Structure 1
Amino acid sequence: MLWERLENYYPQDWRNRHYCEYTLTDLSSSSMEYLTLKMNMMGHKTISRIVRVECPQLYGYFLLKKAEYQSRGRNVTVKELYHDTAEWKIDSILKTNLDWRMVARCKYGQGVSFSPSTSYANRQSSRSNGINRAMIVADVLVGAGHATSTGVRLPLNDYDTTVGNCGQVYVKFYDNEFYPKYIIYYIN
């Protein structure tokens, strides 16, 4: 079965290596993982919890998308980027992933927006997300990206990513091009 084969590719530190919807593993506040993620969130008010996401299904889809791009001769890199959302949306996101079809604000493209900056992701997050927030730390496949200003709906031919605001925004347009690997719960 596909899931059994994919187990060989799961990260070594995953506790749950069997197929399930998802598992959230709390990071120890003294671990290097936790401290690094906390440092990246400097300036945000109160971090209540940081968890590692162990979701075999989404991770498998991500690996398959990466392999698909590579089989087409595309040079893809994996970037660690941030996406800010409301805490109450996390369960839905971890069941079906971030969905470009649900995007309401799409200044740099009709897709899911990520940023290399937690501050920028927080500032640009919808105010309707309230004060109980979740910063998603995601692995994002970036192959050919092109810089854009406002008003772009889809990337140009042969591109898979749009990049806006001097590299502060990466927009992804297709399913499974990203994997949410950590969630930082905090109060904005």
Structure 2
Amino acid sequence: MHGQRRRSTLYTDHASRLLTERHCSDQFSPSSPLLSQCSHYKEEQIEAQVHKTFPWCQIDKISQVNQPSMYGMYLLRKKEMQLQNFVQEIQLYHVTTQSKGITSLKNGLNWRLTKRSKFGRGVSFSDDCDYANFYAHFSSREDNRVIIVCTVLVANKWTVKGNSGKDLEVPPETADTTISPNGRVYVKYNDYEFCPMFVVYYRCKHEDLCQSRYFNGKNGPQSIVGKAKIKYVPVVDTKLQKQKEERQQEQQLLKQQIQWKSQQQEEQRLQQEQKRQEDQWRWQWKLQQEENQRLQRIQQEQRQQQQNNNGCLIL
């Protein structure tokens, strides 16, 4: 029993090191908090990826996920799948409420709890954050939401046709993933073929869906659309806008501090290099002086010896 616990600890520690390398951040450990602040570089990278398909998303903050045991099982599953097929590792997004999101991070995204199964009874992901956000709003009216950024393993895909995905519990043939006809939805059925990496916190009111590329006046919630097509001009949330401006100012200040620190380090390096060169010059000058003195002593001794020899000849 003790040996088994020891192996489990070593396995989790190894997964923590691999997760640290992937995040390019500070060292993770099994005792680290579930969510932690990601690096400035990663934050900008994830924000750019989200805004690429969801430009009107007002991001509050971004955290990175520390689940080494789950990540370790994900890597084992990846190796297992690679023995049979060519496996793609792609980044996809799962949108849910903040309250459900924390539970999903602790226990994993559970395909067994799926209620809506248009494209299969599994965990649904999308490569489009706007799409994921738009259709997630039909299941909940909670404004505080999260985008769970996941790395997902995909080997064999099967495209759902018609209503064939509603009661689909297992993908047909050798497929491990089903996708929607428009290619926006990916459904996974097996545990550890996906792993959460980052969590993006944001707010999205129900009426804001009019800004979505997927809103056409017919597919929106009844509270927005009613019986007629309308155009809605969203009211800017001044509090969120202020928070975003403050975050931008903090990021700008952080950039300036990093630049100043880099400049200081470069100046110190140049000073050290200059001092090293001066020390080397002094050392060489000292050696030259010592060599000159040695040669002078030799010449003086030779002259003295010559004078002594001449004196002996005269006698």
Whether TM exceeds 0.5 here: the answer is: yes
- Write out per-residue CA displacement over residues 49-85 of structure 1, whole angstroms, 9 at most, x where no aligned residue: 11111210111111111111112x2111111011100
> Post-superposition shift, 1:17?
2.4
Q: Which residue number in structure 2 is paired with residue 54 of structure 1?
A: 66
**Pairwise CA RMSD:** 2.0
> Post-superposition shift, 1:43?
1.8
Is the contact between residue 144 and residue 201 of structure 2 (CA under 8 Å) also seen in structure 1?
A: yes
The 3 A distance-change label for structure 1 pair 143 and 80 is: same
Write out aligned runs for 1:173-188 (5 A). Answer: 173-188=189-204
Is the contact between residue 20 and residue 56 of structure 1 (CA under 8 Å) also seen in structure 2?
A: no
- 2:56 maps to 1:43: yes
Higher radius of gyration, 1 or 2 = 2
Write out aligned runs for 1:12-161 (5 A). Answer: 12=21, 13-20=24-31, 22-27=33-38, 31-40=43-52, 41-44=54-57, 46-71=58-83, 73-125=84-136, 126-128=138-140, 130-149=142-161, 150-152=163-165, 153=168, 154-161=170-177
TM-score normalised to structure 1 length: 0.89
TM-score normalised to structure 2 length: 0.55
Is the contact between residue 34 and residue 66 of structure 2 (CA under 8 Å) also seen in structure 1?
A: yes
- Write out per-residue CA displacement over residues 89-130 of structure 1, whole angstroms, 9 at most, x where no aligned residue: 122111111000010001000100000000110011143251
- Name the CA distance, whole Å, in 2 between partners of 1:158 and 1:21: 38
- Name the CA distance, whole Å, in 1 between partners of 2:32 and 2:173: 35
Larger RCO (CA within 8 A; separation ≥ 6): 1
Higher helix share: 2
Q: Which residue number in structure 2 is paired with residue 3 of structure 1?
A: 12
- Number of equivalenced pairs: 186
The 3 A distance-change label for structure 1 pair 9 and 103 is: same
- Name the CA distance, whole Å, in 1 between partners of 2:192 and 2:135: 23
Gaps of 5+ in 2: 1-6, 205-315
Is the contact between residue 87 and residue 154 of structure 2 (CA under 8 Å) also seen in structure 1?
A: yes
Higher strand share: 1
Q: Percent identity?
A: 31
Name the aligned partner's letter for residue 96 of structure 1: N
- Write out per-residue CA displacement over residues 27-47 of structure 1, whole angstroms, 9 at most, x where no aligned residue: 366753354245233122x21
The 3 A distance-change label for structure 1 pair 162 and 110 is: same
Gaps of 5+ in 1: none
Name the aligned partner's letter for residue 148 of structure 1: V
